[in-house]
Homo-oligomer: A and B are copies of this chain.
């Protein structure tokens, strides 16, 4: 290892020594984010932004394939509009930013910078919905929202973050529930197939559901350190918002009716999930589907005749089937290896004079460091195959981590012991009472992650109160 490489690698805190510091180091040194002059707001640098753009591109295609259309709503919500739905305003008013002046004048009514846009969508639906023939309306928007958080961390919790928010209205409750569930499945599929992050799908308890929702569903991912990250949510509102905002339509029976509503969202938090699920001591490891570069070509002994040219030719060929970066800078190969490992590029292609003589190159997997000598004539099959193998490995490794860190418990002493000794999911039965959920939090430091769709029978009683149990619940510590 060259001195330069050592220096760069030493600059990251080892992942198992201080995971929090490791995470911050990776965010900064992989050039994903910069801190801004606005406390709690982050800057997405080109590399971080490119990951988010790839996420957007895939998800947007999935949304459109299921009949959703994009719209753009205002950035501001008048205070009176935010207040129309009681539970919603209680949930959000304490954490919004308020605009009080426009230009040199004080506003007659304060405007908040949207923390989420249910109220704006309802206001719009009330204008444009007339008849059952207009339904369903299935809208989505890509934007940033603002929530005045006290403690912030890049991607995980910041005062401004980027996301998509889907908002739909339907003729019947059944259709709206089906939409809510379908969008949760879309998120799960996206996480598992593209981000290679296994998730648990389930329903939030009443305590944890969205302000104003009848039901909230979520996907929960487990990070490297065993903590949970809620990675996407989908809400069913019934007709509560419709009634609060006077959204009505003439039904098939010519009577005025209230539509049933959903909303669902994922955010730049997914980038945090990628970092904390797949990363290692060398830095980031990116799932190929969203990696800005899937392959980095590093010429070795680039000053020797023909090497730079051949590297450029090979990179050009790869660009036909993969996202490729040719690193033709005058840094040493060792420094480049280290830099692109930090940035998590899935495959490195090394090409030196002796390789060229043999019409081959070296392909190195970022996750396992496995090296393969590959003929330059077979790159178009070898690279996609290796990318796919790497992706599957990432998924399996993350799944193995989750399985190794998931424990079942049937009595409260066991819950407390596991919670203090281990980090991961603890599954238990639950009676359904808020008091027991609060006891889990106060005495074991655990919050309910979800009531998983896949229910198991772990016993008959709630470990907190001993009464008959209704559901299995996943508990954990969460970001």
Contacts and interface: CB of A to CB of B under 8 A. Distances in A.
Contacts of A38: 74, 76-78, 111
Interface in A158-213: 159-160, 162
Contacts of A72: 43-44, 49, 52, 144, 162
B96 A103 contact: yes
Contact of A103 (B73, B103, B148): B148
Contacts of A35: 127
A120 B36 CA distance: 8
A50 interface: yes
Nearest to A141: B49
Q: So how many copies of this chain end up in the complex?
A: 2
A123 interface: yes
Most chain B CB neighbours (cut-off 10 Å) among A42, A103, A128: A103
B46 A113 contact: no
B113 A74 contact: no
A332 to B, nearest CB: 15
Contact of A144 (B43, B75, B101, B111): B75
A288 B174 CA distance: 39
Nearest to A138: B46
B75 A37 contact: no
Given A45-B71, A50-B69, A75-B113, A34 B128 contact: yes
A258 to B, nearest CB: 20
Contacts of A75: 41, 75, 113, 144, 146, 160
Given A97-B99, A98-B101, A103-B148, A73 B43 contact: yes
B104 A97 contact: no
A85 interface: no
A76 B41 contact: yes
Contact of A36 (B42, B52, B124, B159): B124
